[in-house]
Structure 1
Amino acid sequence: MSEQLTIQQRTFIRVPVEEIYDTLTTAAGWNAWFTDGTNVNIKNGKGEIHLVWIGLGGNKNTIEDGGPITKADPNRCFEFKWSPAKNLITTVTFTFERKENGTYLTVTDSGYDFDNLSALTMCSTGWGEALTLLKFYLEYGIIDKHPESKPIKEKREI
């Protein structure tokens, strides 16, 4: 077995942990800021996630991914498997650390190897961008899902 490589990104979001957890564990939450047809089904800490992005890039591609939810511990951890490259399954884990003025959110995507460095690089950049988009959405109500869309700004109290 080859050496396992891991992506880890972290950010501080100035909202309660419950708001972040709800955003990441519901279809409405994902579709509000990042995806376009995601489904999330959780029961007793397990389930399925199906992520969908519509109209990406110059070719207006539709991208679908997802897999089993392996852990859903409210306001502590949310974990699922997905396939960011052909013949590759990784584990995505969101962990939540409550602080006085907000929450530290960490995403770890593990299970890459040296044969999948391109996917690792793309996903590392992608997770960094995703956390930034999530932060802007939750803190300021800014939504910018696609390069061709116009940002939407709703006034939010912080």
Structure 2
Amino acid sequence: MAFPDRIERTVQLAQPPGAVWSALTTAEGLGAWFGDGADIDLRPGGAAQLRWDGGFTADLCVERVEEPVVFAFTWRLHGLPADDPRRTYVEFTLEPTDAGTRLTVVESGFAQLPLPDRAAPYEANTEGWDRELGELVAYLNQATA
């Protein structure tokens, strides 16, 4: 079996797409659930940064902005040197449902790494998306409580 190149997660949210979109695409929203602070220039080619207490940061490049349906960015694979050009592509797709919004997150591009080097970033990001999406759900539920 080939090593997977993508992580895909889907979560059903009780909030409408507009509320979810704001949580994904504003500095206030991102900084509340995806890290401890954020900046974002919401346009294709725009820069974004996520910050965590303790000094860790993640630099993003906005790739797609199709409000309120698709938001995507690229970011560096954790563990690679800062000057390494390889990035993974993260895409959020929002679909309205009777109950709120179905959010699908796909991160792809792990196959850029040699096979022995894929496992660590793939596993770290798989665990990371599970944790971060849980934080998104909690943030949105608290915001609408």
Q: TM-score range by the shorter chain?
A: 0.7 to 0.9
Deviation of 1:93 after TM superposition, in Å, equals 0.5
Give the unaligned 5+ runs of structure 1.
56-61, 142-153
Q: Are the counterparts in 2 of residues 4 and 111 from structure 1 also a CA contact under 8 Å?
A: no
The corresponding residue for 2:74 is 81
Q: Are the counterparts in 2 of residues 40 and 48 from structure 1 also a CA contact under 8 Å?
A: yes
Deviation of 1:49 after TM superposition, in Å, equals 1.4
The corresponding residue for 1:68 is 61
Selected match of 1:122 from 124, 130, 134: 124
Distance 1:101 1:8, change over 3 A: same
The corresponding residue for 1:13 is 13
Q: Which amino acid aligns with 2:96?
A: R
Matched ranges for 1:21-32 at <5 A: 21-32=21-32
Q: Are the counterparts in 2 of residues 9 and 108 from structure 1 also a CA contact under 8 Å?
A: yes
Q: Which amino acid aligns with 1:77?
A: V
TM-score, with structure 1 as normaliser = 0.78
The structure whose residues are more often helix, as a share, is 2
The corresponding residue for 2:46 is 47
**1: CA distance between counterparts of 2:61 and 2:128?**
21
Q: Which amino acid aligns with 2:25?
A: T
Deviation of 1:36 after TM superposition, in Å, equals 2.1
Root mean square deviation of aligned Cα: 1.9
The structure whose residues are more often strand, as a share, is 1
The corresponding residue for 1:104 is 102
Deviates more, 1:31-40 or 1:125-134: 31-40
- Which runs of at least 4 in structure 1 moved beyond 6 Å after TM superposition? none
Deviates more, 1:15-24 or 1:86-95: 86-95
Deviation of 1:35 after TM superposition, in Å, equals 1.8
**1: CA distance between counterparts of 2:4 and 2:50?**
24
TM-score, with structure 2 as normaliser = 0.84
Deviation of 1:46 after TM superposition, in Å, equals 4.3
Q: Are the counterparts in 1 of residues 33 and 132 from structure 2 also a CA contact under 8 Å?
A: no
Q: Which amino acid aligns with 1:51?
A: L
